[in-house]
Amino acid sequence: MLRRRGSTEALAGDESLSDTVPAGPVPALDLDTVRRTYPGGVTALDGVSLRVPAGRMVAVLGRSGSGKSTLLQCAAGLDRPTSGTVRIGGTGLAGLGEAALTRLRRDRVGFVFQSLNLVPSLSVLENAALPLLLAGREPGGRARAALAAVGLADRAEDRPARLSGGQRQRVAVARALVTEPDVVFADEPTGALDPVTAAEVLALLRHAADDGRTVVMVTHDPVAAAWADEAVFLHAGRVAAHEAAPRAEAVRALLHELGRGSREGVDEWPHLSPDPLPYGPGALARRGRAAAPSHERSPR
């Protein structure tokens, strides 16, 4: 099991964090043995544990149906796990009623979800200010500052329809960051963008993490994952692998191996072997592919 100070800890299977929590800063995001079984019986998450310190950017990858969106929904307090715990900044979500949960999401969480589109009838500035307006807070200069930070100060009065896809996604990032949240959740934030525009959006998320926010991003794109500090791979609702300082090439190879494993059948799939993280940095090092320090990484 992987344990590294100051980094995301992804724990596979049933291992509980509860008796292993180290002394030190409270993680920005802490999932402990989270399970989510949907009505009808599909278990989308099967005991996922993940601890992310402040200021880290984590990419969540896996094949279609592996549980990525469900993980994001549960981690963001948009869905409630069937069992296990989710904590944001030390606050357990299970103990919160709907009103308190809504407040926590509003004040401490930012979202860049493809499904959460901009409001077409509002200006770009009003869209960026929306979380503050909904909270009854005075946007003041904060929404303008958030727009300036994503390079769109001069488009404040435009309607979203007049922006390109990449510009709209940058407004979505501004809107996610306007409340200065602890954690930003992004679901395929670059899925519909060309590589250059995608890089601009990823750089904004990277900058947010460098600024102390925690960013959890679901992506299918190995290149996008290479902007993260860590990549976590899901398979059949479990954390199957964990790669520090991911490079696009290594992520691609891991996804390929996960695909092979799934074709061979779950029973033969190596994450169920005694080594719960066969693709973790240790295993990579054994194969002569030690993870590179992040300062040496190129996201492309």
Ligand X SMILES: Nc1ncnc2c1ncn2[C@@H]1O[C@H](COP(=O)(O)OP(=O)(O)OP(=O)(O)O)[C@@H](O)[C@H]1O
Min dist CB 292 to ligand X, Å, is 27
Q: Given the rule CB under 6 A, which residues bind ligand X?
A: 38, 40, 42, 44, 62, 64-70
Min dist CB 98 to ligand X, Å, is 19
Min dist CB 240 to ligand X, Å, is 12
Closest CA to 56 of 240, 223, 187, 183: 183
Contact 244, 250 (CB under 8 A): no
Q: With respect to ligand X, which residue has the nearer C-beta, 171 or 258?
A: 258
Q: With respect to ligand X, which residue has the nearer C-beta, 40 or 288?
A: 40
Q: With respect to ligand X, which residue has the nearer C-beta, 62 or 81?
A: 62
Min dist CB 96 to ligand X, Å, is 22
What pairs with residue 31 in β-bridges? 50, 86
Min dist CB 185 to ligand X, Å, is 13
Give the total residue count for the chain: 300
Start-to-end CA span in the chain (Å): 29
At residue 40, φ and ψ (nearest 5 deg) are: 105, -20
Strands (E) located in 38-70: 43-52, 57-62
Strands (E) located in 118-182: none
Q: With respect to ligand X, which residue has the nearer C-beta, 46 or 182?
A: 46
Strand 230-235 to 9-11 pairing: unpaired
Residue 63 CA from chain centroid, whole number: 16
d(CA 132, CA 280) in angstroms, rounded, equals 40
Q: With respect to ligand X, which residue has the nearer C-beta, 8 or 73?
A: 73
Min dist CB 63 to ligand X, Å, is 7
Q: With respect to ligand X, which residue has the nearer C-beta, 152 or 223?
A: 223
Structure tokens at 49: 């544990």
Min dist CB 259 to ligand X, Å, is 13
Q: Which residue has the tokens 């407004």?
A: 171
Q: Percentages helix, strand, coil for the chain, rounded to the nearest 5?
A: 35, 20, 40
**How would you class 78 by CB atoms within 10 Å of its CB: exposed for 0-12, middle for 13-18, buried for 19 or more?**
middle
